[in-house]
Each structure stands twice: as C-alpha cells, then as structure tokens.
Amino acid sequence: MATASKQPPTKDVSTKNAQTKDVPATNAVNGSVRVEIFDQVYNLRGSDADYILKLAEYVDSKMRAVSEQTATVDSVRLAVLASALDEVLQDTRRTG
C-alpha cells in the first residue's frame, strides 16, 4: 500500500517508515509532497497536493498488482508494465 504525506523533504530517507501516514502536513515553502511508491520515496511538487497523493496511491497499487502476478522484481520494469496495464485490460474487455 502506498504511503504519502504532505511533509517537507528530508535529506535522510532512512526515516521513511517512521512518517505518520494519516497526519499530512504541507511544506508551504516549496509545495513538496513526500510520497512512497513501491517502497521508494519521492518528493514531488505540484499545485494540487491531494491529487499528487491520490496519484501516488494509484501508481503504487498498479505496480503491486503487477508484481503479484509476475516474477519481476525490477521496479523500472514493473512501472512500465503497470503503465500499460489499463490499456491492455481495456483492449481485452472490448474484444472479449
């Protein structure tokens, strides 16, 4: 499950699991949103922090779904497969 919080970025990512998932706080200085996607921490910036959080959770769920069905452990390959997942499923539904 993705974890995402609106927290200021830190230089030490080893504390990523110590963050509180349910208590978001914004970084007003640079609008950075700290998210964790498939066990990797990213500090993202954008105009809508809530959208970034939802998007991170969506991407994480897709990558985890693909990883459960394949033997691939490479996160880059999982990301590519997950990005094509919806398109492939829609094509299958149309033809099947």
Mean of per-residue pLDDT scores for the chain: 74
Which has the higher per-residue pLDDT, 83 or 1?
Answer: 83
Q: Which residue has the higher pLDDT, 47 or 4?
A: 47
Which pTM was predicted? Answer: 0.63
**Span 12-17, average pLDDT:** 38
Q: Is the pLDDT of residue 73 over 60?
A: yes
- In this predicted structure, which of 31-35, 41-45, 80-84, 85-89 has the lowest mean pLDDT? 85-89
Taking the C-alpha atoms of residue 2 and residue 53, their distance in angstroms, rounded to an integer, is 9
CA distances from 28 to 3, 61, 67, 68 (A): 20, 28, 35, 37
Which stretches within the chain are classed as H helix? 49-69, 75-95
List the chain domain ranges: 3-95
pLDDT for the residue 9: 43
